[in-house]
Chains A and B, each alone.
Chain A
Amino acid sequence: GENVEQHPSTLSVQEGDSAVIKCTYSDSASNYFPWYKQELGKGPQLIIDIRSNVGEKKDQRIAVTLNKTAKHFSLHITETQPEDSAVYFCAASQSPRETSYDKVIFGPGTSLSVIP
């Protein structure tokens, strides 16, 4: 089955600096890679996702890159703000067009702290 690794486990940055979180996956059949932000006491919230036919995607201060050959994908947050502090999970799954559901497998998470 799919195994997703994520680094670093904790990350502390100064407000305004950039933060980078890196993930690897094992199953070459995975073709959908979402990133979730989870604040204390809340459920995971999707912040950005990328499909395997795309190498990079950007949404304001957040960008994700995918290297399908190396099975790596990364999250980049620029101009970090204190409200970006949370646990971030990368994940991998196969398109539900083949399975009729997303078996989303999560990485272990990165606890991001943005210091004002």
Chain B
Amino acid sequence: DTEVTQTPKHLVMGMTNKKSLKCEQHMGHRAMYWYKQKAKKPPELMFVYSYEKLSINESVPSRFSPECPNSSLLNLHLHALQPEDSALYLCASSYRGGGFDTEAFFGQGTRLTVV
């Protein structure tokens, strides 16, 4: 199983809504990531979890709140978003630990539209 699964695939939300994006992997990876990708731009790193602990927060606004409930799951909680937050949100995972490098596998993304 070399898959990172993201749900939902599409999400439309109002600026006052609260929603969550979900990501799951069963490759035994110990690092999980959230990236944001705007149209015609490269993915930009938002958060990194390593061994279920938040290791990097790239100065992301507090209306985005990540959570790593266990080593296989990663959530991104959304609240009071702005229209400019509309983008493709990508989850990725990598690194099996113990010195065994792995490539970063990406999910298909959640296409988020804020109205």
Using a CB–CB cutoff of 8 Å, the interface residues on chain A facing chain B are 32, 34, 36, 42-46, 49, 89, 95-97, 99-109
B94 in complex: contacting residue of A45, A96, A106, A108, CB < 8 Å? A96
How long is the Cα–Cα vector from A109 to B107 in the complex, in angstroms? 18
A108 in complex: contacting residue of B41, B48, B50, CB < 8 Å? B41
Question: Do B42 and A100 touch across chains, with their CB atoms under 8 A apart?
Answer: no
- Check A101/B108 contact, CB under 8 A, given A95-B101, A96-B94, A107-B42: no
Q: Is B31 an interface residue (CB 8 A)?
A: yes
Residues on the A chain within 8 Å of B48, using CB: 101, 103
- Check A103/B45 contact, CB under 8 A, given A42-B108, A96-B31: yes
Q: Is B43 an interface residue (CB 8 A)?
A: yes
Residues on the B chain within 8 Å of A106, using CB: 42-44
B38-68 at interface with A (beta carbon < 8 Å): 40-45, 48-51, 55-56
- Could you tell me the distance in whole angstroms from the C-beta of B57 to the nearest C-beta in chain A? 12
Task: Give the total of B residues in contact with A, Cβ under 8 Å.
Answer: 30
Question: Do A46 and B42 touch across chains, with their CB atoms under 8 A apart?
Answer: no
**Which of A95, A96, A100, A106 counts the most chain B CB atoms within 10 A?**
A96
B103 in complex: contacting residue of A34, A42, A103, A107, CB < 8 Å? A34
How long is the Cα–Cα vector from A72 to B66 in the complex, in angstroms? 35
- Could you tell me the distance in whole angstroms from the C-beta of B32 to the nearest C-beta in chain A? 9
How long is the Cα–Cα vector from A97 to B40 in the complex, in angstroms? 32
- Could you tell me the distance in whole angstroms from the C-beta of B95 to the nearest C-beta in chain A? 4
Q: Is B30 an interface residue (CB 8 A)?
A: yes
Question: Do A100 and B51 touch across chains, with their CB atoms under 8 A apart?
Answer: yes
27 A-B pairs with CB atoms under 8 Å apart are: A36-B106, A42-B109, A46-B104, A46-B105, A96-B31, A96-B101, A97-B99, A97-B101, A99-B50, A100-B30, A100-B51, A100-B97, A101-B33, A101-B48, A101-B49, A101-B50, A101-B55, A101-B95, A102-B33, A102-B95, A102-B104, A104-B33, A104-B92, A104-B104, A106-B44, A108-B41, A108-B42
